[in-house]
Amino acid sequence: MNRISHKQAIKWINRRLDGLLTNQQLLLLDEHLRSCDSCTSYAAEMELLPTQLQNEFHARWDEKPGPSEKVMQHVTAKARNIPMTNRISSGIKLLAGAATLILLAFAINFVVSQLRDTSTTAVGTETVNILPRAEDRLLAFASNQNGNSDIYTMRADGSDLTNLTNNPAYDGYPFWSPDGKQLAFQSDRNGSTQIYLMDANGSNVIQLTNDEGNPQFDINGHTPWSPDGRKLIFSQFSNGERKSKLYSMDVDGTSKTLLTNELGEYVWPSWSPDGEHIAFISFESQGMPTVYHLFVVDKKGNNLTELTGSLPMGRSLLFSNYYWSQDGRSIFFTTDSNENQGPASTVYEASLDGSLNVIARASKPILDWWNGTVLESETPEPALTWLRSDGSQSTLDLCRSTDQALNIAYKRSYNGNLVFGANCSATGWALYWANPDGTDISKLVESIIPVRNDVLFNMIWSPDDHFLAFVSLDSDYPNPTTTLYVLDVAEARKDPSVQPLKMEASGPSWQPIP
Amino acid sequence: MITMDYRLIELCRVGDSAAIENFVQTYQQDVYRLALSILDDPGEGEDATQEALLSALRSLDSFHGTSSLKTWLYSITVNICRNRLQRHKRHEHLTKILGEILRVRSTPSVEEGAIQNESNEALWRVIHGMDEKHRIPVVLRYYHDLSVAEIAHILQIPEGTVHSRLNTARRQLHGILKEGRL
């Protein structure tokens, strides 16, 4: 009888190639291989590879002559001066060290004073440990690659792809817990869509809801997890309607709390960074254009307040995005105006009691605002302009002059860096990177996402600002398809030939802590 | 196999000519083979060898014997080669842009052509096409016969990451072999 599964056997065949199996594991693997033709055949193929590689490398390099005499001459000539150079450089280092200490004292003083100023954080930002190795972080996502939607994890470079759910039912929308140990997700494995929880390796699946109205996450790039990892927010729909109510619950499925008494078109809730409040958008889609309202409610479901309630007539939330301040006491959002008077777009800071402060104004629609820098967008002429608080500005034309920009998409990273894209009618999507105030802009990739993929969404930065995962929607086919891309932004900035990893999938979520 | 009398290291530190010559003589072959296998260019490999040996001699004070001298020297060499690859990539990019502007097409040298014919060109193309993150562990494992632990030490990454990168590279090669493209 086989004591290990095929999956385990394949994993161990690969580990055996690197000499990483214990004696006990080697015995179990041998036992499996004796009775499994497919694994034996895989092992034989994999074991052939090292020989092929060794032959190739030796054929290529062994016949090459060794280094010439010049190496010896050059190195010995220069190396004789090393002790003297080292002594001089030690002296310089000593002086430089003293100077650095003085500068450091000034720098720390400056940083501390900057931190005291109000700053913003992207909505849904989790408290994370920044680790030196971005590749060790797992990306969870949903994919149909096995015939139905399952939840997978993989590393940012595409390695260690693992199907966590392996269930014939629908499983989707995975969200990592703040400690990176669990995933909340939705599934219809018991007949209707409900919310579930599982460990990072797919084990210990627990059903958290068993309610009417298909409880699910309607999150749009935020996280349903409270910052302390104890609660989840979700939507529950009125049967047959688009209207829903928002709830929170403890992660064991108890203490379900109603956040919105009335049914409404409530979407994209997010926790304040201190976990005390939840903001969400309500929209009226009957008229044109759609009007968005921003609400906030405390975590117990009390004190529901519309933050856009005291806006001047004719102004409404623009682009439906908003940012929590870092202390969770206010929210920044942008409005447009239907009136032909004054600036077209305004950034407000709303206190949680609904009082408003004007932060910035611009004559064109403000796409985004970050610590004093306004990002204006201009359509149909596809251009972005950064207006900085010191009065300087930079403009970037997104498509060639003959092109039309069919759509744009963007996402701030946790540190305020921006990746944005424009779908140009002639060339498809091009993606760019900009630092927080737009003084450093570079093109990352071009023409990898076709024009017909008309929307980019689920743009999620890895918590260390290294990778960006995003999804494109191809709605031209009878069955719309979603493609997940994972772009190594740090590498793409250095090397324009870097291409994103690509697969048919959606709903990416980065593990906060590996 | 690399061996080194630690007394010689002390002599190199104080600039003793005979000791430095001995150091270069002992290590230049291995360092050159490593540089050649990463850069795949004899001229570049030789320059990187000089740079690595000089860099090691300059920083012998920072070698405290916590890893083997070979591992330490290999780490320095790999870093120097990586920097050269980055510079080369940037240069290639500029050349490509200039080539497009000037419509100049480069042709492979006679030597390059001969080497390509001798070896399994298709397999090499796949290896060469890998990013350095995956290619360098493969070369260290299958040309320099280093263990996963040694590679982890040289690249300063965990053993699990080395295994993961080797695995990704092997899967890619296996997939192509299965498809009969090699």
In this predicted structure, which of A326-330, B50-54, B89-93 has the lowest mean pLDDT?
B89-93
Structure confidence at residue A121 as a pLDDT band (50, 70, 90): very low
Gyration radius of chain A over CA positions: 27
Mean pLDDT of B133-145: 91
User: Does residue A195 sit within a domain?
Assistant: no
Structure confidence at residue A34 as a pLDDT band (50, 70, 90): confident
Say how far apart CA A157 and CA A252 lie, in whole Å: 33
- Neighbouring CB atoms inside 10 A of B134's CB total 20
Q: Which residue has the higher pLDDT, B29 or B176?
A: B29
Encoded amino acid at B124, one letter: W
User: Does residue A321 sit within a domain?
Assistant: no
Strand order of the sheet with strand A257-258? A231-237, A244-250, A257-258
Q: Which residues of A468-507 are buried (b: 16+ CB within 10 A; e: fewer)?
A: bbbbbbbeeeeeeebbbbbbbbbebeebbebebbeeebbb
Instruction: Among A79, A94, A128, identify where a domain stops.
Output: A128
Say how far apart CA A271 and CA A279 lie, in whole Å: 7
**Phi-psi sector, B2: left (phi>0), alpha (psi -120 to 50), beta:** beta
Mean pLDDT of B75-103: 67
Residue A276, class by beta-carbon neighbours within 10 Å (0-12 exposed, 13-18 middle, 19+ buried)?
A: middle
Structure confidence at residue A313 as a pLDDT band (50, 70, 90): confident
Does residue A160 sit at the B interface (CB-CB below 8 Å)? yes
Which among A72, A133, A159 is the nearest to B24, CB-wise?
A72
Place of tokens 């092929």: A52
Residues in chain B: 182
Which among A17, A160, A495 is the nearest to B170, CB-wise?
A17
Say how far apart CA A99 and CA A309 lie, in whole Å: 55
Say how far apart CA B3 and CA B13 lie, in whole Å: 17
Contact B119 A56 (CB under 8 A): yes
Instruction: Among A78, A111, A128, identify where a domain stops.
Output: A128
Instruction: Among A71, A106, A128, identify where a domain stops.
Output: A128
Q: What is the pLDDT of residue A146?
A: 80
- Neighbouring CB atoms inside 10 A of B3's CB total 7
Decide if A29 contacts A16 (C-beta within 8 A).
Answer: yes
Structure confidence at residue A98 as a pLDDT band (50, 70, 90): low
User: Does residue A504 sit within a domain?
Assistant: yes
Contacts of A359 (CB under 8 A, 6+ apart): A332, A347, A348, A349, A369
Residues 132-151, chain A, touching B (beta carbon < 8 A): 133, 135-136
Q: Of A191-200, A310-319, A361-370, give the range with the top mean pLDDT.
A: A191-200
For the stretch B50-72, pLDDT in tens is 999 998 888 877 776 666 778 88
Contact B115 A60 (CB under 8 A): yes
Give percent above pLDDT 90 in chain A. 27
Q: Which domain holds residue A414?
A: 370-514
Total domain count, chain A: 2
Best of B49, B90, B133, B156 to disrupt the A interface by mutation (most A CBs within 10 Å)? B49
Residue A216 per-residue DSSP state: B
Q: Which residue has the higher pLDDT, A84 or B172?
A: B172
Say how far apart CA A270 and CA A220 lie, in whole Å: 9
Torsions phi, psi for A222 (to 5 deg): -90, -175
Does residue A72 sit at the B interface (CB-CB below 8 Å)? yes
Structure confidence at residue A2 as a pLDDT band (50, 70, 90): low
Say how far apart CA A447 and CA A500 lie, in whole Å: 12
User: Does residue A59 sit within a domain?
Assistant: yes
Torsions phi, psi for A115 (to 5 deg): -65, -25
- Neighbouring CB atoms inside 10 A of A58's CB total 13
- Neighbouring CB atoms inside 10 A of B113's CB total 11
The residues that bridge with A505 in the sheet, in sequence order, are A143
User: Does residue A316 sit within a domain?
Assistant: no
Mean pLDDT of B144-165: 88
Mean pLDDT of B79-93: 75
Does residue A58 sit at the B interface (CB-CB below 8 Å)? yes
Contact A72 B32 (CB under 8 A): no
Rounded to two decimals, the ipTM of the complex is 0.80
User: Does residue A410 sit within a domain?
Assistant: yes
Which among B28, B61, B163 is the nearest to A15, CB-wise?
B163
User: In chain B, which residue's Cα lies nearest the Cα of A137?
Assistant: B161
**In the predicted structure, residue A251 carries a pLDDT above the cut 90:** yes
Alpha-carbon gap: A390 to the closest alpha carbon of chain B (Å): 34
Q: Which residue has the higher pLDDT, A434 or A363?
A: A434
User: Does residue A388 sit within a domain?
Assistant: yes
Say how far apart CA B170 and CA A61 lie, in whole Å: 21
Residue A364 per-residue DSSP state: S
Does residue B163 sit at the A interface (CB-CB below 8 Å)? yes
Encoded amino acid at B90, one letter: R
User: Does residue A281 sit within a domain?
Assistant: no
Contacts of A49 (CB under 8 A, 6+ apart): A17, B170, B173, B174, B177
Decide if A162 contacts A150 (C-beta within 8 A).
Answer: no
Residues 131-160, chain B, touching A (beta carbon < 8 A): 133, 138-139, 141-143, 147-148, 157-159
Mean pLDDT of A222-229: 92
User: In chain A, which residue's Cα lies nearest the Cα of B47?
Assistant: A71
Q: Which residue has the higher pLDDT, A81 or A11?
A: A11
Alpha-carbon gap: B29 to the closest alpha carbon of chain A (Å): 6
**In the predicted structure, residue A449 carries a pLDDT above the cut 50:** yes
For the stretch A405-417, pLDDT in tens is 667 788 888 888 9
Contact A18 B148 (CB under 8 A): yes
Structure confidence at residue A278 as a pLDDT band (50, 70, 90): very high
Alpha-carbon gap: A426 to the closest alpha carbon of chain B (Å): 20
Across chain A, mean pLDDT equals 81
Q: What is the pLDDT of residue A414?
A: 80
